[in-house]
Amino acid sequence: MADLSSTFIGIKSPNPFWLASAPPTDKEYNVRRAYDAGWGGVVWKTLGSEGPPIVNVNGPRYGVVHGADRRVLGLNNIELITDRPLEVNLREIKQVKRDYKDRALVISLMVPCEESYWKDILKAIEDTEADGVELNFGCPHGMAERGMGSAVGQVPEYIEMVTRWVKQYSRMPCIVKLTPNVTSILPPALAANRGGADAVSLINTIKSITNVDLDAFSPFPMIDGKGSHGGYCGPAVKPIALNMVAEIARHPETRSLPISGIGGVTTWRDAAEFMALGAGNVQVCTAAMTYGFKVVQEMISGLSQYLDEKQMALSDLVGRAVPNFVEWQHLNLNYVTKAQIDQDLCISCGRCYAACEDTSHQAIAMSPDRVFTVKDEECVACNLCIDVCPVEDCITMRELPKGSTDPRTGRVVGDFADWTTHPNNPAARLAAE
Amino acid sequence: MASTPYAAGIVAGRLSSSDYAAHFSDHEPPLDPHEARVAADRCYFCHDAPCITACPTSIDIPLFIRQIATGTTDAAARTIFDQNIFGGICARVCPTENLCEGACVRMEAEGNPVEIGALQRFATDPMIARGDHPFTRGAATGKRIAVVGAGPAGLACAHRLAMKGHEVTVFEAREKPGGLNEYGIASYKAPGDFAQAEIDWLLQIGGITIRTGTALGRDVTLDALLSGHDAVFLGVGLSGVNALGIPGEDAAHVQNAVDFIARLRQTTDKSTLPIGRDVVVIGGGMTAVDAAVQSKLLGALNVTIVYRRGQERMSASDVEQNHALTTGVRLITNAVPVEIRADGAVAFEYTLDGDAGSQRTGQTFALPADQVFKAIGQTLTAPAGVTPEGRKLGAGHLGGKLWAGGDCAAGGEDLTVTATAEGRDAAEAIHAALTR
């Protein structure tokens, strides 16, 4: 069994699987169950300022996108930050941390963008013995309308300012949680870095409407005939999250900034992918909300088996794929592949043919007896046939060896050459002149 | 009803009333909406799908399954009924394992096809149950067409003709319409008088008059029909039954399986049906299986199907055979009956399948029997004035005003779905001929 113990910005946990700040971490009872189930850490559900607690809706809080057999592919929520009194949360945090010293416990915070609020809340949590704080600059619903959450995360100057306050008034490690509801994730990440953040965590949820009731003509979740946008999460958002994590991980100014990866982590494999793209650990919410806390056992055993098979330490995995995440212009245009169909595996469904014939390059031939073959002279290697084929490994890509001729273009496959030097690239021509 | 399963002879009431109810309830209960969504999601929406090719009526199966998956069951039903007005009964009785499901690419992938038959039932049942007929009759053409036989071929033909605006009269020898749907299908496959409900629903198209108890050759002549109508469609089925041709065949305890099946279907209280303790069914097709299984369900203690050749040659599908075996029916293959003895027992001789066909071995055995069912095939009784081509009538247009389809006509397997396709296609051809 590989050693999964993790140290993230100085915070130790027995494994890199933390529960994200969200409904599952709202109170002592849940958090104890999570630790007992094996979670390495917990980011406590976001605390607000002292005073009258937040109010939530009393109708549905979640919308869902289902796949086959009602598999939860995406979830959105309109729940606000904790609606329990601050002193209750603080008391419970302290009790839990005392009983689970080996587990990470980070407190998520969201207060108005004024220095005194941050100073006060940081003082309030000082003696909980929590391991760190996470600044919730991410929630896109409800609190954003009040100038908090993603309203802060969308303004790099605010991120930097508040992060500075937090580092000024607290010795705790500080994670800045970023919102994906921006055109580029880099300015917010750079701002957090400038403000002195010890790490960023991302992504928070994405503004969304999961579906519309076609009888009531209202978005879901529907509250008395009306709906508000929610924050989208779960497996559906993983590709967006992976890209944002990787962009930060490869940027020269943020490449050494630790990242806690969030967004649709459902299995050990998702976690490994986040970590390979630069995340030091991962945070999970939807998978736990869908299947319960026990899912962490599969994540632990799966990541452990993978690391054993690869003979890698956990730290070897972090960032391993980052050097291979490049801009399009640096992709090798002399890497030529052709689809090939394994006739023994083919079940003759014809999906590759329909996809290619109707929507792509007419590169698959269909015989009267339903044998499907690739026309190398037409195949641009787009991969769509592989993507739609229901049989794993039935269609694969075959690389044309260097020196051979691509029957589609008639050109000989040469050495590495990318767009930066391509004759059709005006910039390349200018550089050559 | 003090009989027991052990009582010798042909007696009624071998079982408790609850046993009868359980045995003759829906053999394969319908999918619930969630099951249907899950089953529908397994469809790959194949290009030029093999299941469509395998369906004698060419239903656009991937489309109707996708319509189920997206919550539009009535649209799915319409897709089915466009091609096959008997989509309801076909969903229950089609040997799908030999047709659409046998061709499903998931068979190749994992040996487990999309449940097309069950999904078809899921789509079609609600519309029929509501009595919501999806088609409207075209403007009246003034053309009159006679259809002989109110089985699936005749009624499919009549429905399509009525849709086109023609006036159709259906002549049916029996007391009820439906043909084999009503008289020839195992009771547990279509309980609740489904066949009649489906016909009532079908007839909502209008323009169809059914004259039951009117047999061709007895009550009406073909010449009269031809002279009184613009076209005549023969869907008379196969009313003859093959004989064994062995000594003792005339004994009272020897019956035609088709008559037994028909009587079962027409009897509401199954406990009144007498059945033997030791039942022998001779044959290898679906009729043999239906008779054997239902004998067992009626409380027969020992039921044996005996087929003259190897099991792989039985025309009953694997699913049907397995159903018989799991019901407790015994299957003996490669044995031909040679005599029905005075004590009721049936003597058989073993055979060997070889290149030159089945050969007798000289080795014999006997099965005790107090009831014997013959299920070795049905034959055409050709209407006077029509010359058969071999063992059947020609298919489609027979010349002049005369068309034929269904089991009585050459081509295709003797299945409800095939008969439906042939009736439908004959209607299109008649329509084309009459409006040319």
Q: Which residues of A touch B45 (CB under 8 A)?
A: 351
Specify the amino acid at residue A180: P
B137 falls within a domain: no
Whether residues B306 and B415 fall in one domain: no
CA distance A354 to chain B (A): 6
Q: Which residue of A has its CA nearest to B44?
A: A349
Contacts of B304 (CB under 8 A, 6+ apart): B279, B280, B281, B292, B329, B330, B331, B332, B367
In this predicted structure, the answer to whether residue B191 has a pLDDT above a threshold of 70 is yes
Q: Which residue of B has its CA nearest to A357?
A: B47
Whether residues B126 and B208 fall in one domain: no
B260 falls within a domain: yes
Return the pLDDT at B100: 98
Contact A353 B47 (CB under 8 A): yes
The better pLDDT of the pair A67, B147 is held by B147
> CA dist A296 to A131, A260, B125, Å?
21, 17, 45
User: Looking at B353, B374, B395, which one is the last position of a domain?
Assistant: B374
Whether residues B316 and B217 fall in one domain: no
| B258/A97 Cα distance (integer angstroms) | 79
Residue A376's φ and ψ, nearest 5 degrees, are -55, -30
Return the pLDDT at A431: 67
Q: How many domains does chain B have?
A: 3
SS (H, E, C) A158-187: HHHHHHHHHHHHCCCCEEEECCCCCCCCHH
Whether residues B274 and B338 fall in one domain: yes
Mean pLDDT of B163-176: 97
B160 falls within a domain: yes
A354 in B contact zone (CB under 8 Å): yes
Mean pLDDT of B345-373: 94
B24 falls within a domain: no
Return the pLDDT at B1: 47
DSSP structural state of residue B89: H
Whether residues B52 and B150 fall in one domain: no
The per-residue pLDDT for range B249-281, each reduced to its tens digit, is: 999 999 999 999 999 999 999 999 999 999 999
Question: What is the residue range of B210's domain?
Answer: 144-239+386-434
Whether residues B318 and B347 fall in one domain: yes
CA distance A95 to chain B (A): 45
Contact A390 B108 (CB under 8 A): no
A353 in B contact zone (CB under 8 Å): yes
Whether residues B229 and B248 fall in one domain: no
Return the pLDDT at A240: 98
B49 in A contact zone (CB under 8 Å): yes
**Is A139 part of the annotated catalytic residue set?**
yes
Contact A351 B46 (CB under 8 A): yes
Point out the residue among A69, A354, A366 whose CB comes nearest to the CB of B41.
Answer: A69
B197 in A contact zone (CB under 8 Å): no
Whether residues B292 and B251 fall in one domain: yes
Contact A350 B109 (CB under 8 A): no
Return the pLDDT at A344: 96
Positive or negative: CA dihedral B45, B47, B52, B53: negative
Whether residues B273 and B359 fall in one domain: yes
B32 in A contact zone (CB under 8 Å): no
Contact B109 A348 (CB under 8 A): no
B191 falls within a domain: yes
Q: Which residue of A has its CA nearest to B109?
A: A347
pLDDT category at B4 given cuts 50, 70, 90 is confident
| B336/B351 Cα distance (integer angstroms) | 7
Whether residues B343 and B267 fall in one domain: yes
pLDDT category at B27 given cuts 50, 70, 90 is confident
A17 in B contact zone (CB under 8 Å): no
B25 falls within a domain: no
Nearest alpha carbon to residue B395 among B233, B242, B227, B216: B233
B18 falls within a domain: no
CA distance A356 to chain B (A): 11
**What integer best gives the mean pLDDT of chain B?**
95
Q: Please determine, for the modelled complex, whether the ipTM score is greater than 0.95.
A: no
B138 falls within a domain: no
User: Looking at B64, B95, B130, which one is the last position of a domain?
Assistant: B130
Specify whether the CB–CB gap between B68 and B118 falls below 8 A.
Answer: no
How many A/B residue pairs have CB atoms within 8 Å?
Answer: 36
CA distance B67 to chain A (A): 14
Nearest alpha carbon to residue B166 among B144, B147, B148, B149: B144
Residue B264 maps to which CATH number?
3.50.50.60
SS (H, E, C) B222-238: HHHHHHHCCEEEECCCC
Could you report the average pLDDT of every consecutive run of 10 residues in chain A (433 residues)?
A: 95 98 97 98 97 93 92 96 96 97 98 96 95 96 90 96 97 97 98 98 97 96 95 98 98 98 97 98 98 96 96 97 97 97 97 97 97 98 97 97 97 96 87 64
Return the pLDDT at B411: 87
Q: Which residue of B has its CA nearest to A355?
A: B47
Whether residues B74 and B103 fall in one domain: yes
Whether residues B403 and B417 fall in one domain: yes
Q: Which two tokens stand for residue B304?
A: 């044996």
A390 in B contact zone (CB under 8 Å): yes
pLDDT category at B2 given cuts 50, 70, 90 is low
User: Looking at B101, B130, B159, which one is the last position of a domain?
Assistant: B130
CA distance B35 to chain A (A): 9
* The one catalytic residue among A139, A285, A379, A385: A139
B70 in A contact zone (CB under 8 Å): no
A68 in B contact zone (CB under 8 Å): yes
Return the pLDDT at B5: 83
**Listed range (A327-341, A350-364, B6-20, B291-305) with the worst mean pLDDT:** B6-20
Contact A69 B106 (CB under 8 A): no
- The full set of domains in chain A, from first to last, is 6-324 (3.20.20.70), 330-423 (3.30.70.20)
A215 in B contact zone (CB under 8 Å): no
Q: Which of B105, B106, B114 to mutate to test the interface with A (most CBs of A within 10 A)?
A: B105
The per-residue pLDDT for range B112-132, each reduced to its tens digit, is: 999 999 999 999 999 999 999
Q: Which residues of B touch A213 (CB under 8 A)?
A: none
